[in-house]
Chains A and B, each alone.
Chain A
Amino acid sequence: MSEQTTGTRYSVVHNDEEQYSLWAEGRPLPAGWHRTDFSGGREECLAHIDAVWTDMRPRSLRVAMGEN
């Protein structure tokens, strides 16, 4: 894969559905997304997401299924 790994720093972000993604630092974050306090290189961020995103169901689905 030819990802741009040229030193761009990313934040780990999530939306209200608690779905995680990456967002380049310095770019204005789209509405409805929140930065976590984790940032780093692309691979570091993805590794962090692998560790913290343990239930991949959207939050609304968890709520609808009676969990929280």
Chain B
Amino acid sequence: MSERPTPAGTRSVAELREAVAAIWRNALGLDDVRDDCNFFDEGGDSVLSVEVAISLRELTGQEFELDILYEYPEFGALSAALSAGPDEGGPETRELTAAEERLWTAEQLHPGSAVYHLAVRYRFPGGLDVIRLRAALDTLAARHEALRRGFVKPALSLTARKASVACRWVDARGVSDESVRELVDTEVRTPFDLGRPPLLRALAVDRGDAGSELVLTVHHLVCDGVSLDLLETQLQQLYEDGSGSEGTEWERESAGRQAMSVRPRDAGAALDHWRNMLAGCPGALSLPHDLDRPARPGVKGAAHRILLTDEQVSTILSSAEEERLSPFMAWVAVYVTGLIAVTGDRDLVLAVPASSRGPAQAGEVGMFVDTLPLRFTVRPGATARDVVRLVRRVVTGALAHQQVPFQTLVEEVRSDADRSRAPLAQTALTYMDTTRCGLRWDGHSAEREQIGTGTAKYEVLWLVTRTGRGTVCELEYSTDLFTDEAAAALHRRMVAAVGEAFAQPDAPLPECGTDALDVFVPIHERVHRRAVEHPGAVAVRHGRTSLTYGELDRRASVVAAGLRTAGIARGAVVAVPMERGIASVTTCLGILYAGAAYLPVDIAQPAERTRHIVRTAATAAVVTDDAAAELLAEVVPAHLLEKLLVTDEAPVAPAAVTGADVAYVICTSGSTGRPKAVVVPHRAVVRLVPDADFVTFDPADRVAHVSNPAFDAATLEIWGALAGGGTLVVADRDVLLSPRRMRSFLTDERISVMFLTVTLLNQMVDFAPEAFRDLRVLLFGGEKHDARRLGKLFAAAPPAAVVNGYGPTENTTFSTTHRVTAEDLAEGVVPLGRPLPRSTAYVLDASGQRVGAGGTGELYVGGEGLAHGYLDAPAQTAAVFVPDPFAARPGQRLYRTGDQVRVLPGERYEYVGRLDDQVKVRGHRVELAEIEAAVRRQNGVADAVVHARPTDDGMEIIAFVAPDTAGDEPEAALDVTALGDGLRSELPQYMLPTVIVVDRIPVTANGKADREALLSASAEAGAGGCAPAESADPSRDGDPVDSTVTALWQEVLGTGSARPADNFLNAGGHSIKAMRLLALLGEELDVTVDLVDFFENPTLRGLTTLVRQELTGGGL
């Protein structure tokens, strides 16, 4: 071989590179030259640069400028520029083929994405000879026109005369797997400049003792599956001996192997075939995705992989083989069966690739693949074998008419375009046999591995690849629609269902996908199973009393038997007016065992309200004492729990119910002035616990039961603990009323999971911020969080996880959850989070359109957590439970929350406020209209306006009352004490307003109550209580105890006045403010006053007396 310089045109690119490298080595005294070698960094200077440029001129015969090394200081760039040579005329251009056009169009929609990159990797035990590799790649580019092809707007392909394949060589010896993975990910995901061929690049990674890796990335516009086989074979030959024929027997066989190519027929007849085939085809596939569907399909994706053994595959494919299906067709039948199982759809369209490669293109690299939509309509009762036969008919029909481009079909068939979904087909299947693929050289062989590019072409795409190690099934899914967990669950379920269906190919496929596969197990059955497995485990603890699962199960069965005897059957609603405790838990479980639904009733509320709720919602009640029985006399039959427990009836097995059966009914404040009853089905309960992912419960957990049973956070506590096999630990009321006692409770009872309303959490953080340190999960919700308190919690000793739970009762406790992080607090935004599994959340504007990131709108929630509606209130239900236009499954509803939220990036939401007059008071939902109606009903009231305003201790409710007497002094005319008593007899404590008497309700120009004027008037009045202000000098007798108590009283109530006879509850005080007051007293005077004792006589005088008793050590 001569060293004589020859023009670049006649030497190979690799030879040219080597010659240039030799010039560099000589000039710079280097042993080795790599692409990233910089001429000037390696010691080159201006003189040397001119000498080298002259040598290069001699080498190439080209008269380029002598400063070429300044333009291309790096070796790789320089040699690429030299090999491109002088412009020998423009590239050839032509129009795109149909297949190219389809991909080109997709590229325009998602520019710069890697969605159509084909990326493969080969791992070799030894090193790679990168010089030989580069030469081989360049020869391939010279040989195959497609590897010199680029694409430019509007839609032209151009073929360059020369193109050099970029081949990076990276020294990754001793580098971590993680870093190499990142390197490879970047390599395969970096977009090609489609106008600059070649659309192929290589990466060689030297991993020292761990061998080496070769990664090839090629754009689908110039390559398909057969082309990849061709490239592999030829690369191998070129690498081994520098030659390689242009077409081997294997290649021809490979090209013919995809027997999916059929000669064209009459185009008109073909179009008719497709029109018939696709008429009225569904526009959506009911995939059970767990993320909100974006307005436009995206291309972000990931993949989940399942490896099937040859044995599993032969079982699955045996019936397809009996019907003489090709492996490809067999996998189509398998996928159709799997899709039916996971979606329940029996009319579905699936896209498959079909080769358009004619005999003339057998050895040609390029894009010769069409997409064919296959539509399958599977009748009810069909078997797996029926599907197999259907697939054979549909696929052969499709192949016979495949010359119609997919784009044409899309335009033909699409009528009412849903732009959030891909037209025609939202899923696809590919099948490849790579058992004979791979690279073998230098005595080593390397299998071909596909590398994911973090993209998804469809909502889901199933890639089935037969390899030497078994069959790899990959579900590529859109990460806009699926979390990784949901996609993995979907894939596993699909593969399991396929296994079952083909194990019995002549049995009917399951009737409806999701429901038929997951046999519904109601919550009480789950508790029963725990009891059977671990009867001795403690289910509920309350103080020193505890109940094992075995005993709980037995008692519940007995209660159920007693209820059955009393005529309580499936579908009935039974009131449970009990405090939280072992009795209420036992009773609720017993009611569920009987197949009925429970109605928890807050016993602290006024008797009339209890009677009203029970009368309207329940047909019976279970009570623990005669007083409660008396309360409900003449309302419904009330059964004493202790009598039910000694019944002679044989215990009954837990009732079988469906997911649609009602589990419980919970009353919430109603804007019409009366409470409304939310009817919650069983499926909604298991969707919250135990199926949810925001918190898991296991047998080691000790879950605090602190919520009022009539508040739906109790659902989470009770059933989370019991279905998870853990222990429910009941907290007494006084625990909740003192941060010190709560701290002791958490420690003594070793609580691991608890829920608190924001108000209680704030209270705890103020006085015992470190109390939660040993918790596994602290959940909070019910109201908007307080960023300052959360900050303090995180600064103190936060539990392992802090979760913000948001949601109305109508969507079962939580609609969205978010695990709070320190970063959230630093950023100042604690989002509402993402929807629970099997749930959705959308933010819509007034016209029902979805609001994008940054926008604000009303939050609508849906999914399996939805209540049936409001009991016996069809209009109220219909007004807020509305058709879901976005649901994957038809006929779904959404609940309008009335909450205004802002959409944050990443489908998270931030609470903004209410769209109506509903407020949250200490976690309770309160309709101001209900309070207003109650105030107006009181004697002596002419008019009233109720207003809520946020304070540091939560929401404060103020009633502006105009008395019913003209001319008199307003305060004289109205007996404020009687008014307060009247309200206390009608409204639960958390709804009691601070009453401010005004002579009249001012109105605005448009006739509405002028809240601004009322509020400014109240501010002047110092937000005093309802009692007339009277001067009271807090330090009138100089007693430090009196003055301290009075000062703190005034501080907590936000008032400037206080008389000894003032009633705390009439002056705007409530239990949280009382707790605060007692906690402050504890700090100031080191006394512990019981809230219960304080409420015996909640006056300033009474409190002062209690404090004195404590101070003198005489509590008793």
Residue of A with least CB distance to B595 = A65
CA distance A8 to B846 in the complex (A): 12
Bound-complex Cα distance A64 to B660 (A): 9
**Chain A's nearest CB lies how many Å from the CB of B283?**
9
Instruction: Tell me whether A56 and B869 are in contact in the complex, defined as CB-CB below 8 angstroms, given that A1-B671, A30-B884, A30-B890 are known contacts.
Output: yes
Quick check: is B530 within 8 A (CB to CB) of the other chain? Answer: no
Pick the contact of B879: A22, A32, A54 (CB < 8 A): A22
- The reply to whether A56 and B915 form a contact with Cβ atoms under 8 Å apart is no
| B171 proximal to A (CB < 8 A) | no
Give the distance in Å from the alpha carbon of A57 to the alpha carbon of B570 in the complex.
Answer: 13
Q: Which of A3, A28, A31, A58 contacts B660 (CB 8 A)?
A: A58
Is A19's CB under 8 angstroms from B893's CB? Answer: yes
Name the one of A21, A23, A31 contacting B881, with C-beta atoms under 8 angstroms: A21
A47–B917 Cα gap in the complex (Å)? 23
Q: Which residues of A contact B875 (CB under 8 A)?
A: 46-47, 49-50
- Contact at A57–B868, with CB atoms within 8 Å? yes
B869:A30 contact, CB within 8 angstroms: no
Contact B878 A46 (CB under 8 A): yes
A32: chain B residues within 8 A (beta carbon): 887, 889-892
**Is there contact, CB below 8 Å, between B879 and A46?**
yes
Whether A2 sits at the interface, judged by CB under 8 Å, is yes
Q: Which of A2-50 contact B (CB under 8 A)?
A: 2-4, 13, 15-17, 19-24, 27-33, 45-47, 49-50
B496 within 8 A of A: no
User: A27 vs B848: C-alpha distance in the bound complex, in angstroms?
Assistant: 10
Is there contact, CB below 8 Å, between B883 and A56?
Answer: no
Against A, the Cβ 8 Å flags (1 = close, 0 = not) of B93-126 are 0000000000000000000000000000000000
B879: nearest chain-A partner, CB-CB: A46
B1113 within 8 Å of A by Cβ? no
A30 and B868 alpha carbons, distance in the complex (Å): 19
A29-B883, A30-B883, A31-B891 are contacts. A20–B874 as well, Cβ < 8 Å? yes
Bound Cα distance A27, B883 (Å): 12
A24 to B882, CA, bound (A): 11
Query: Which partner residue on chain B sits nearest A27 by CB separation?
Result: B848
**A28–B416 touching, CB < 8 Å:** yes
B272: CB under 8 A from chain A? no
Tell me whether A21 and B878 are in contact in the complex, defined as CB-CB below 8 angstroms, given that A4-B846, A16-B891 are known contacts. yes
Q: Which residues of A contact B416 (CB under 8 A)?
A: 28
Q: Which residue of A lies closest to B916 (CB)?
A: A1
A63: min CB distance to chain B, Å: 9
Query: Which residues on the A side are within 8 Å of B138 (C-beta)?
Result: none
Please measure, in the bound complex, the distance between the C-alpha atom of A24 and the C-alpha atom of B883, giving whole angstroms. 11
Tell whether, in the assembled complex, residue B661 and residue A56 are in contact, meaning their CB atoms are under 8 Å apart.
no
For B890, list chain A residues within 8 Å (CB): 15-16, 30-33
Q: Is the CB of A15 within 8 A of B868?
A: no
A49 and B874 contact, CB distance less than 8 A: yes
What are the residues of chain A within 8 A of B877 when measuring CB–CB? 19-20, 53, 56
A5, chain B: closest CB distance, angstroms: 12
Given the known interface contacts A47-B875, A56-B872, A60-B660, the answer about A19 and B881 at a Cβ–Cβ threshold of 8 Å is: yes
Decide yes or no whether B658 CB sits under 8 A from chain A. Answer: yes
B884 CB contacts on chain A under 8 angstroms: 30
Taken together as a complex, chains A and B put the C-alpha atoms of A23 and B439 apart, in Å, by 61
Which residues between 897 and 916 of chain B lie within 8 Å of chain A, taking CB atoms?
A: 915-916
Q: CA–CA, A18 to B36, complex, Å?
A: 70
Is residue B571 within 8 Å, beta carbon to beta carbon, of the partner chain? yes
Taking CB atoms, residues of chain B closer than 8 Å to A60 are 658, 660
Tell me which residues across on chain A come within 8 A of B661, comparing CB atoms.
61, 64
* Given contact pairs A20-B878, A32-B889, A64-B658, a sample of 12 additional A-B residue pairs in the complex whose CB atoms are under 8 Å apart: A1-B917, A19-B869, A19-B893, A20-B874, A20-B877, A23-B883, A28-B885, A30-B886, A30-B892, A53-B877, A53-B878, A56-B872
Tell me the B residues contacting A by CB distance below 8 Å: 284, 416, 570-571, 658, 660-661, 671, 679, 681, 846, 848, 868-869, 871-872, 874-875, 877-879, 881-887, 889-893, 915-917
List 25 contacting pairs A-B, 8 Å CB cutoff, sorted by A. A1-B671, A3-B879, A15-B892, A15-B893, A16-B891, A19-B869, A20-B878, A22-B879, A22-B882, A23-B883, A28-B416, A30-B883, A30-B884, A32-B889, A32-B890, A33-B883, A45-B878, A46-B879, A50-B875, A53-B874, A58-B660, A58-B868, A60-B658, A60-B660, A61-B681
